[in-house]
Structure 1
Amino acid sequence: MKHVKPHALAAAVALSLAIPSTPVIAMSLTDDATATLQLRNLYFNRDFRGPGAQSKAEEWAQGFIFRGKTGYTHGDQGLGIDVHAALGVKLDSSDDRAGTLLLPNSFGDEGPDHYSHILFTGKARVSNSELKVGGIIPTIPVAQASDIRLLPQTYTGAALGVGEVPGLDIQAGQLRQVNYLNSSDLQDIGATVGGMSDRFNYLGGTYKVDAISSTLGLWRAELDNVYAQNLLNLILTKPVGSVTLGANLAYFDTSDHGNQTLAIDHKMKSLMLSAGAGSHTFRLGYQHSDGDTSFPYLSQNNPYLANYVQILDFARADERSWQARYDVDFAGLGLPGLKGLVRYVKGTDIDLAATDDGSEWERDIDFTYTIQSGPLKNVALQWRNAMVRSDAIRDINENRLILNYTITLR
């Protein structure tokens, strides 16, 4: 990945749509080729309550995200290539309102007017197994790249997926560098507990047991010379009449790795229970972050936790937290395209410098409407509202307005 000028987005589109000069290769590569351009307009307003140098972080930006994927060459061993290019454009910011992670800036410096990145991924497929080398966007429990701001977080490295046994999915890989949400530059990979490395190795997988509607996951991850992490995950679903019950249990065991001395000895227990009927789903979540440090995970990732929500992750040292959540799909109530949720999370027993009984809470409201017909069909409008009151950070009131539209190019 490298920093590129805005016209690189157009170049990436043209490259992905171009047909190779060799007819046989061209036919096989383009058989299943896809190309999309996602337009994302995002307004972000975070109002800080209480004393502090910055009273609010408020910015507005436009993102363009191109994704191109070829098919595979014919034969027992298929080859292909993927292209990912993204451009972020500042629409409104200032020195005293910067720092939303929409743009490459920080409080006191509103930064450049635009930023961008481009990456290529070579891929090879044999039977039901696939190897990717180059640009990687991981979506596994021990490394979930984030896409919660303007442009997605991306990595470089290699990833292998093996699906030769029915029900068994094995994943292995190494990530070398990261392009953070608001950056054009590749960097070493950081962790939430401190430390950086140019190697993140993982191995694991899932096994589906259809007879009991369950999925068992087992993972091992190492951020070299920072932390080592084991994860055991069990997912259950059970229809009971018109109600579908669900449970997602995750147990993480994390420690120091290599020559790092961050004194990491952490156990995380995460549980999400759900009950869905028709248009309505109710969820209850519980987490216990057991350790003298916060829960370790890759910087800016989406941690695989029940109580990771809009602003907080409820993963501070010794923190216990509970969540109540309600989701509704208004299609069943005569309003197709409208979905919403409301949730409340409370955390207690936080080990802070001034007390071992700190607490915090977050309340979220989230509505998304996708236009169902007409010239604006599939345009999605989203409003995300959050309120945080915490002994660990400044109190926050936050609103995000997001417009998403994806154009299918081929």
Structure 2
Amino acid sequence: MQLNPLSALALAVCAAISLPALASEQSESKGFVEDASATLLLRNAYFNRDFKDGAADAKTWGQGFIGTFESGFTQGTIGFGVDAYGLLSVKLDSGRGRNYSAFFDTDSNGHPVDDLSEAGAAVKLRVSNTVLKYGNQFPSLPVLAHDDSRLLPQAFTGTLLTSKEIEGLELNVGRFTGDSPMGDPARDPNHLKSIDVVGGSYAVTDDFSVTLYHSDVEDMFRKYYANLNYNIPFNELQALNFDFNIYRTRYDDGSVAALAFGGDGQDDRNTLWSLAAKYSIGAHAFIVAHQRNTGDAGYAYDFGDGGSTIYVANSYYSDFNLEDEQSWQASYELDFGAYGVPGLTYKVAYVRGTDIVAGGENDGTERELFNQFKYVVQDGAAKDLSFKLRNSIYRADNQVGPDLNEVRAFIEYPLSIL
């Protein structure tokens, strides 16, 4: 099915107005300046990927400044506003041969640049609880999700309509034609032709939600995504949660995305799904998950649809998304707030993937041990200052990927300017 954004938009609007509406956010607008906000996020990030097969390690340290401005909406039936951002990163340590390109681009001599900067803006209008935005944005949808896991965030250029006219229902329709990746100040260096997205989520009850989305990246692939999330609360301290995610991808003939993930470029298809069960009891949580990939190729993403477009359970350093791969996860989470240290959390996860098509056989394997500590200051002058340290120990068959140890460290401090 070829996605038609205009038809999808009409369908979304009809669905929104056919049900009882919520109170209008636009009618409660205080004004362009009165509802405006501006923040500056200071992000200090260190990245160390230590390869065990002799390949050059990637070691980079930088300081990022992420400034965002969001205006309010003018008063009246139709409200107008503007959003803008400014990004700056400064290299603190790196070098030729060990630079990490997702932090800093390189010059013609292969040396990492000393700094990067980028700015963008979008205009927006609102009617009732429906917002139409055009310009540079940070979309976070299951089929179009910008990557913000390094020093500076990825951005996209296009149009997005978000409607929340019905309680519990969110509808999104969009078309984007530009992709500004992390570590590169260019507006669209990958020459994205277009990506169309449509879908939404609905909270059926407080404990059960459904999400459906579709996307079409021109000359790459068409994707369908679904999610079911069901929570069973036993009491105030105990709950059981089930989270099911599935992607169905049909690659365009000759798609480089399909070829990169084992396809032959002709009518390649892929299905990736995961099911996670999480049992929470007080400060503790125990998770088991199974993920499976089937079809003619592995699951491809970040080919015009964003570096975080993989809403599945077993995604850490590795995404366990290779051709015919099936993987199991066991993980544990701890909230130290119950032990007198509010704001401190810990997670450890072990994932093993098997049956990967590699070297012409279905016997490739990979495994990862993931650890992460995070601490957020809860009060005082440094309130919201956060520290995050994560480590992945990854091992795989030679035909699957190189063995490595990875460390990522982040210090973030948000400043409210307005």
Q: TM-score, normalised by structure 2?
A: 0.86
Q: Equivalents in 1 of 2:59, 2:155: separation in Å? A: 24
Q: Which moved more, 1:397-406 or 1:350-359?
A: 350-359
Shift of 1:187: 2.1
Is it true that 1:275 corresponds to 2:279 in the alignment?
yes
Size of the aligned set, in residue pairs, is 375
Q: Equivalents in 2 of 1:188, 1:100: separation in Å? A: 14
Q: Equivalents in 2 of 1:371, 1:35: separation in Å? A: 21
Shift of 1:317: 0.4
Q: Give the alignment of 1:239-318 within 5 angstroms.
A: 239-241=233-235, 242-257=237-252, 260=255, 261=265, 263-299=267-303, 301-302=307-308, 303-309=310-316, 311-318=317-324
Contact 1:197 1:226 in 2 (8 A): no
Question: Residue 207 of structure 1 aligns to which amino acid in structure 2?
Answer: Y
Question: Secondary structure at the residue paired with 2:361?
Answer: coil
Is it true that 1:336 corresponds to 2:330 in the alignment?
no
Deviations 1:220-270 (A, max 9, x none): 110012101111221111101331111111222111247754542111111
Contact 1:28 1:73 in 2 (8 A): yes
Is it true that 1:226 corresponds to 2:220 in the alignment?
yes
Question: Residue 90 of structure 1 aligns to which amino acid in structure 2?
Answer: K
List runs of 5+ in structure 2 lacking aligned partners: 1-28, 256-264
In structure 2, do the counterparts of structure 1 residues 296 and 111 end up closer, same or farther at CA, with 3 Å as the change threshold? same
Shift of 1:297: 1.9
Deviations 1:183-219 (A, max 9, x none): 1012265xxxxxx7410001111121117x2111111
Question: Residue 312 of structure 2 aligns to which amino acid in structure 1?
Answer: L
Shift of 1:169: 1.3
Contact 1:47 1:57 in 2 (8 A): yes
Question: Residue 31 of structure 1 aligns to which amino acid in structure 2?
Answer: E
Shift of 1:35: 0.4
Contact 2:30 2:73 in 1 (8 A): no
Shift of 1:322: 0.8
Q: Equivalents in 1 of 2:210, 2:284: separation in Å? A: 26
Shift of 1:44: 1.1
Shift of 1:176: 0.8
Question: Residue 350 of structure 2 aligns to which amino acid in structure 1?
Answer: Y
Is it true that 1:47 corresponds to 2:50 in the alignment?
yes
Q: Give the alignment of 1:6-405 within 5 angstroms.
A: 28-52=31-55, 54=56, 56-99=57-100, 101-105=102-106, 109-187=110-188, 197-210=192-205, 213-241=207-235, 242-257=237-252, 260=255, 261=265, 263-299=267-303, 301-302=307-308, 303-309=310-316, 311-391=317-397, 392-405=400-413
In structure 2, do the counterparts of structure 1 residues 185 and 107 end up closer, same or farther at CA, with 3 Å as the change threshold? closer
Question: Secondary structure at the residue paired with 1:348?
Answer: strand
Shift of 1:292: 2.5
Deviations 1:148-177 (A, max 9, x none): 100011100010011222222111101111
Q: Which moved more, 1:78-87 or 1:167-176?
A: 167-176
List runs of 5+ in structure 1 lacking aligned partners: 1-25, 190-195
Question: Secondary structure at the residue paired with 1:335?
Answer: coil
Q: Equivalents in 2 of 1:217, 1:36: separation in Å? A: 31
> Residue in 2 aligned with 1:14?
none
Q: Equivalents in 2 of 1:188, 1:246: separation in Å? A: 41
Question: Secondary structure at the residue paired with 2:311?
Answer: coil
Deviations 1:56-110 (A, max 9, x none): 1111100000011000000010000001110010011111211252111399823
Identity %: 32
Q: Equivalents in 2 of 1:307, 1:232: separation in Å? A: 16
Q: TM-score, normalised by structure 1?
A: 0.87
